[in-house]
Amino acid sequence: MDTFPHTPLPRHGLPRDEVLKQLLAMKQGDQDWRGGRVFSLVYSAGDEVHELLQEALSLYSAENGLNVLAFPSIGIMQHDIVCNTATLLGADDPGSGGAVEGYLTSGGTESLLQAVKTARDVARHDRGIERPQVVAAESAHAAFTKAADYFDVELIRVPVGPDFRVDADALADACTDDTIMVVGSAPTYPHGVIDPITDIAALARERGILCHVDACMGGFLLPFLTELGRLDEPFDFRVEGVTSISADVHKYGYASKGVSVILYRTHELARKQLFMTTDWLGGFYASTAMAGTRPAGPIAAAWAALMHIGQDGYLELTRTAHDAALSLRAGIESIDGLTVRGDPPGTVMAFGARDPELLDIFAVGEKLSEDGWYLDRQNRPDSLHATVHAGSAATVPYLIDDLRRAVAHVGSARATSRDTTYGQSH
Ligand SMILES: Cc1ncc(COP(=O)(O)O)c(C=O)c1O
């Protein structure tokens, strides 16, 4: 047993009010994202949307998304979410082939796990490749490494260029006869840059292999940025050769946690994701993604977010978040000694010291966190990371002020810790 003390299961259940009191007390130690000082993990479209999400979650708190025959409304919502995501990502464009299909998953990681597993199964069953390889940049999300580990696929990581994007030629050089899929990110999590998807997809076509675009972060942002005339970089099914795309509704779709979409260009490819078995006394069992029982609340909340925010709402949220990201970037670059890594076109960015000998950006991060800001750290090179969303836009000017003060305050002092843990390790 873990030696960390835990609250024991009470012999007699606690009264409702007492339980809620304890929950609220525990929550005191958490980041208060409502104040707009959290630049990671949370995406907020404001109180009104949040209240709607809470109502939708509670409306479906008991239903089970495993069986849409029992709860047909969950099947309807799921279909609406997948179809609308597909439309955003070019599925209705004649260039897509008109046969895009997909499924809901619990998040970006599960979508990427599914994309890699589907590619592995295509490799094994259709092409006789026993130990398939996936080639991805070192900036592609850690979930690709997880997928390779889970599914016995070899992941070949390729270095990014000085602009933190991967070069399609570098990916090509890493491909072998066992390569089944190449990956591009739109954008990458670490630096918020968009890989050259058209070149990567062309490489995939040339080699007759699959091409996954990880748009977990950008799936609900880049289409609106494009519509606003602020981005001119194709990344979705309009690009020939892109065979699958992941897009998280729980990021810039501003939904509650627990909903992502994995889309495939063709029906045949999408069908490879399905799991079915008859070897069980429980009857014919089929599921579309990893989980069996699935919480229906997040599906209802995602549906509610899409329907309530609508196209105009997403355009406005995107404009707000992007304006704030532009001003954060300008603010960072106006501070002596700081630089933004690469040229991120959207709302995600990493920044650090121009000269790490003169300034320790982690020491700056420590000062910012003392001041109540929450930004992730990453290394190679040491950087702070900011995901700007509509709910944090209003605080950006204060963040810039505090950042300027933190840099002056820190001077040449070094950080007490160089830890960059993102996630959970115990
Ligand atoms: C580009 C990208 N892909 C995948 C993921 C994984 O998503 P999740 O944390 O929802 O599993 C993230 C998360 O930030 C991401 O930014």
213 alpha carbon – ligand 1 mean position (Å): 12
pLDDT at 425: 73
347 half-sphere exposure, CB direction, 13 A CA radius: 29
Q: What is the pLDDT of residues 71-87, one digit of tens each?
A: 999 999 999 999 999 99
The domain of 401 spans: 310-410
375 alpha carbon – ligand 1 mean position (Å): 16
Angle between helices 396-410 and 297-333 (to 10 degrees): 50
The pLDDT tens digits along the chain (426 residues) read 667 889 999 999 999 999 999 999 999 999 999 999 999 999 999 999 999 999 999 999 999 999 999 999 999 999 999 999 999 999 999 999 999 999 999 999 999 999 999 999 999 999 999 999 999 999 999 999 999 999 999 999 999 999 999 999 999 999 999 999 999 999 999 999 999 999 999 999 999 999 999 999 999 999 999 999 999 999 999 999 999 999 999 999 999 999 999 999 999 999 999 999 999 999 999 999 999 999 999 999 999 999 999 999 999 999 999 999 999 999 999 999 999 999 999 999 999 999 999 999 999 999 999 999 999 999 999 999 999 999 999 999 999 999 999 999 999 999 988 888 777 777
125 DSSP 8-state letter? I
Is the CB of residue 263 less than 8 Å from the CB of residue 244?
yes
Q: Which two tokens stand for residue 151?
A: 């599914």
pLDDT at 257: 98
Assign residue 331 the CATH number of its domain. 3.90.1150.10
pLDDT at 58: 98
Nearest residue by C-alpha to atom 6 in ligand 1:
108
Q: Which of 258, 262, 261 has its CA nearest to residue 297? A: 258
Same domain, 175 and 258: yes
Same domain, 321 and 233: no
Same domain, 232 and 300: yes
Helical spans, DSSP H, in 247-382: 267-271, 297-333, 361-370
Q: Which two tokens stand for residue 64?
A: 């089970």
Atom of ligand 1 nearest to the CA of 109: 11
- Confirm whether 4 is domain-assigned: no
141, 150, 290: which to mutate for ligand 1, most atoms within 8 A of CB?
141
- How many domains in the chain? 2
Residue ending a domain, choose from 287, 305, 323: 305
- Confirm whether 46 is domain-assigned: no
Is the CB of residue 360 less than 8 Å from the CB of residue 410?
yes
Residue ending a domain, choose from 305, 320, 344: 305
Atom of ligand 1 nearest to the CA of 215: 1
Task: List the beta bridge partners of residue 134.
Answer: 155, 181
- Confirm whether 263 is domain-assigned: yes
Same domain, 148 and 112: yes
As a dihedral over the C-alpha atoms of residue 411, residue 417, residue 423, residue 426, rounded to 10 degrees, the angle is -160
pTM over 0.85: yes
**Cα–Cα distance, 387 to 371 (Å, whole number):** 18
Contacts of 369 (CB under 8 A, 6+ apart): 375
Same domain, 290 and 200: yes
Q: What is the pLDDT of residues 43-54, one digit of tens each?
A: 999 999 999 999
Q: Which residues line ligand 1 (CB under 6 A)?
A: 107-109, 112, 141, 143, 185, 189, 214, 216-217, 248
